[in-house]
A = this chain, B = another copy of it.
């Protein structure tokens, strides 16, 4: 049905009406006092969201641009880095690091499995010469729905003492607790079209004092994504280059909504939505791609056996106007992914699961009792 699309993908995520209306406002000049006041508020609220006193800088770029900034500003050609790679995004940071001439060692895990923190420990403990300059980790691996154990890996990085920890929190920030200051995370990159509840187009990078120390001697070339001028400008509530003004105005509204909801409620909501989604999939005998102990609160990947993923996606779209994500690259056709990230409420999960049940019935899938998925989801939603 026209204009009835419901996004259940891991980005772009649904955007609240208030935020859409903010986007539709006439732009104002970015070198004005009015815009500086917005920047000041937004920056303060970004620090709140990031649970940090570190700088949180805004880039006109997607999450990949934010991650590039988070890597190239703190390293020099030939620097040894450990990159965790258990999916498309981990792979991307390895490729990016290689493109910039870093000496990349990957720590891998099978698709759908979490990275093993002990493998990082081993390499970090063995590095008595302190040649490892950074550990680059994807927190929530969007391609598989796996949440890596950032807390433990970070503890090993802290024990190493020298290496920076650089985190892709693109689909985890604003969905799960990432206490940047408590854990001492050096660089955390994220993107606007995820937990932030605004469309894609802005990237965010938080930078610790230790990372700024590394910045002083880092020699990778950079200009548009150079965070030094961003930091200087941010101190004056402005940006070195023209920012995506309308997006910043939308961000202001979205962050106000997030503050009103509260961090604990936001995290609890994502846990609840994830729990309900997973309980429903189990009740429908649809195998979950990621194990319970490493499940992302942003997205649930499902690997159906006696019914085709792409057919599920197709019927869900045509009959129920719900967009699910497919598998990427070698997972194409093997999994579907249901996003429950950002501006998603309990009702959305019930609607999606009810529609999924109807879809499965339409496709002749018989391994479930109609209503079982919705009942399982409802139980989690009402009990938590």
Chain B residue contacts of A140, Cβ below 8 A: none
One of A175-183, A241-249, A358-366 contacting the partner: A241-249
Q: Indicate how many identical chains form the complex.
A: 2
- A62 on interface, CB distance cutoff 8 Å: yes
Contact A242 B99 (CB under 8 A): no
Residue ID in chain B nearest A32 by CB atoms? B323
Partner of A95, one of B223, B246, B323: B223
| A interface: dominant SS | loop
**Measured between alpha carbons, how far is A14 from B26 in the docked complex, in Å?**
7
- A45 on interface, CB distance cutoff 8 Å: no
When A201-B244, A242-B11 are in contact, do A224 and B23 touch as well, CB less than 8 Å? no
Contact A222 B99 (CB under 8 A): yes
Contact B25 A9 (CB under 8 A): no
A197 CB, min distance to chain B CBs, angstroms: 11
**Measured between alpha carbons, how far is A371 from B123 in the docked complex, in Å?**
78
Contact B26 A23 (CB under 8 A): no
Contact B99 A223 (CB under 8 A): yes
Contact A241 B62 (CB under 8 A): yes
Instruction: For chain A, residues 18 to 35, give those with C-beta under 8 angstroms from any C-beta of chain B.
Output: 20-21, 23-32
Interface bin, chain A: 35 or more
Chain B residue contacts of A244, Cβ below 8 A: 62, 199-201, 244, 247
Contact B12 A20 (CB under 8 A): no
When A7-B29, A61-B60 are in contact, do A12 and B245 touch as well, CB less than 8 Å? yes
Residue ID in chain B nearest A323 by CB atoms? B29
A224 CB, min distance to chain B CBs, angstroms: 4
When A62-B242, A199-B244, A323-B32 are in contact, do A68 and B27 touch as well, CB less than 8 Å? no
Chain B residue contacts of A325, Cβ below 8 A: 29, 31
Contact A12 B30 (CB under 8 A): yes
Instruction: For chain A, residues 187 to 229, give those with C-beta under 8 angstroms from any C-beta of chain B.
Output: 191, 193, 199-201, 220-226
Contact A242 B100 (CB under 8 A): no
**Measured between alpha carbons, how far is A31 from B337 in the docked complex, in Å?**
13
- A5 on interface, CB distance cutoff 8 Å: yes
Chain B residue contacts of A226, Cβ below 8 A: 99
Chain B residue contacts of A200, Cβ below 8 A: 27, 30, 60, 242-246
- A101 on interface, CB distance cutoff 8 Å: yes
Chain B residue contacts of A100, Cβ below 8 A: 221, 223
A-B contact pairs, 17 of them (CB 8 A): A7-B27, A7-B28, A12-B27, A12-B245, A14-B26, A23-B23, A23-B246, A60-B60, A60-B65, A65-B224, A100-B223, A193-B242, A200-B243, A201-B245, A201-B246, A220-B221, A224-B225
